[in-house]
Amino acid sequence: MMDIRSDMLSRLRNRKPGYTLDRPFYNDPDYFQVDLENIWYKDWLFVGHDCEVPNPGNYMTVDVGAYSVIIVRGRDGKINALHNSCRHRGSRVCAEHRGSAANLVCPYHQWTYDLDGSLMFARQMGDNFDPSQFGLKQVACESAGGYIFISLADEPMNFEPFRKTMEPYFLPHRLREAKVAYESTIIEKGNWKLVWENNRECYHCAGNHPELCKTYPENPSISGVSGAADDPETAEHWAKCEAIGLPSKFQIDEDGQFRAARMPLLRDAISYTISGRKAVHMRLSDQVNQDRIGTLLLFHYPTTWNHVLSDHAITFRVMPISATETAVTTKWLVHKDAVEGIDYRLEELTHVWTETNDQDRQIVEENARGILSPAYEPGPYSEVHEGGVAQFVEWYTRFMESRLSGEGKPSLRSVA
Ligand code: FES
Ligand SMILES: [Fe+2]
């Protein structure tokens, strides 16, 4: 692995700024392993929403590379993240993707764990057995604005700067109390970085997303990182939203890992429908008293990008599966009291982004295939349209460089 790490480091150091990466970053299994160890096993990852585990005992599981993690609401209401590996002989304790249980009981020999991971009961293990030494291992877990994040690192990075930025934007939308109306997971046959590169520009939108383009502006300042502060229409939108208590101005953190901004939709559309009219006849949050608030955008590398509208929210989760496969999970959140068939039609609610996701999947897969050709060489990003992509690749480059060279944060101990 050492050779791969130095090979990767030298490619990152010699890369041409403003250009795509060398081929191995997009398809090499060893490079993928280095990504897992340095980003996915170290950083904060969005896994799901508080409202998906509303009551004690509600749980979901998530796989991150080789890890399986249980996210479970404890008796005290706190959300816990636990390694899904029994402390007896290692069986997965929860085999289901989602469920509800009074305790977590391993299916193999019925070791029984409390919802905080402590071992309550293990049959006939002898007098010298000390159950307090065999609780499920803890995973760092934080909840912010209705989003659950975990970190697999032994010493997680400081979560607070993200919380401090994100919560003022998100708390008014009360996603903690929402409900997931629909969820889809698609597998894109492309590296996770290709999924992100595609997400961070709308250069491809006009040619590929007829449904989304009815409401979502292609304006590169929206997908990019300029913030559109000098665009009068955006400035007016921010002023209007901030006047009703909705923080909206563009903010990006100093490392470029996350960004929040509230952007207007085309022709003052309310929602991502073909007509631009609302898809849900009940606002997502009781705290928001207007419909035309555009879309609150948030990205946090490497796992999530988001759109929060007045009538619903759409959240995206990226999970790497292999060097050439990535799972993208999309959730549509609505007010918890909104009733399907009465307050919204599921087909209308999900239509635009279901189509858009599938179009993006095709684009990413063609991109991945083309990169396999020996004729591939890194190509230039458009300065006008692809500033967001360049920003993502720069974030990745700086982040990996600092970690691979031993200067980075957090600790660089390899898990291999
Ligand atoms: S492996 Fe879990 S109880 Fe034996
Ligand atoms: Fe797209």
Q: DSSP readout, 57-117?
A: TEEEEEEETTEEEEEEE-TTS-EEEEESS-TTT---S--SSEEE-SSEE-TTT--EE-TTS
- Judge contact between 32 and 204, C-beta under 8 A: no
**DSSP bridge partners of 140:** 151
Ligand 1, atom 1, residue with closest C-alpha: 89
pLDDT of residue 223: 60
* 299: nearest Cα among 264, 252, 366, 369: 252
**Mapped to the 3 state alphabet, what secondary structure does 199-266 carry?**
HCCCCCHHHHCCCHHHCCCCCHHHHCCCCCCCCHHHHHHHHHHHHCCCCCCCEECCCCCEEEEEECCH
Q: Which two tokens stand for residue 39?
A: 């980003």
Who surrounds ion ligand 2 at CB < 5 A? 360
Closest atom of ligand 1 relative to the 110 alpha carbon:
3
Phi then psi dihedrals of residue 16, to 5 deg? -85, 120
Domains of the chain: 44-151 (2.102.10.10), 161-371 (3.90.380.10)
Measure Cα distances from 149 to 144, 154, 290 in Å.
8, 15, 29
11 within ligand 1 shell (Cβ under 6 A): no
328 within ligand 1 shell (Cβ under 6 A): no
Q: Where are the alpha helices (DSSP H) in 264-345?
A: none
* 363: nearest Cα among 197, 124, 177, 171: 197
**DSSP bridge partners of 46:** 149
pLDDT of residue 406: 81
For residue 355, the CA-to-ligand 2 centroid distance in Å is 10
Phi then psi dihedrals of residue 152, to 5 deg? -85, -5
Q: What is the pLDDT along the chain (416 residues), one digit of tens a residue?
A: 669 999 999 999 999 999 999 999 999 999 999 999 999 999 999 999 999 999 999 999 999 999 999 999 999 999 999 999 999 999 999 999 999 999 999 999 999 999 999 999 999 999 999 999 999 999 999 999 999 999 999 999 999 999 999 999 999 999 999 999 999 999 999 999 999 999 999 999 999 999 999 999 887 777 666 666 678 889 999 999 999 999 999 999 999 999 999 999 998 899 999 999 999 999 999 999 999 999 999 999 999 999 999 999 999 999 999 999 999 999 999 999 999 999 999 999 999 999 999 999 999 999 999 999 999 999 999 999 999 999 999 999 999 999 999 865 544 333 33
SS3 159: coil
113 within ligand 1 shell (Cβ under 6 A): no
**Radius of gyration (C-alpha) of the chain in whole angstroms:** 22
Say what angle helices 192-199 and 346-371 make with each other, to 10 degrees: 120
- Global pTM? 0.95
For residue 295, the CA-to-ligand 2 centroid distance in Å is 16
pLDDT of residue 416: 32
121 within ligand 1 shell (Cβ under 6 A): no
pLDDT of residue 225: 62
91 within ligand 1 shell (Cβ under 6 A): yes
pLDDT of residue 2: 65
Say how far apart CA 66 and CA 414 lie, in whole Å: 15
C-alpha 381 chain-centroid distance: 24
| Nearest ligand by distance to the CA of 353 | 2
Say how far apart CA 39 and CA 44 lie, in whole Å: 9
31 within ligand 1 shell (Cβ under 6 A): no
For residue 107, the CA-to-ligand 1 centroid distance in Å is 7
Closest atom of ligand 1 relative to the 90 alpha carbon:
1
Of 106, 125, 136, the one to substitute when testing ligand 1's pocket (max ligand atoms within 8 A of C-beta) is 106
Ligand 1, atom 4, residue with closest C-alpha: 109
Closest atom of ligand 1 relative to the 111 alpha carbon:
3
pLDDT of residue 22: 98
Say how far apart CA 57 and CA 362 lie, in whole Å: 39
112 within ligand 1 shell (Cβ under 6 A): no
Closest atom of ligand 1 relative to the 122 alpha carbon:
3
Say how far apart CA 137 and CA 126 lie, in whole Å: 22
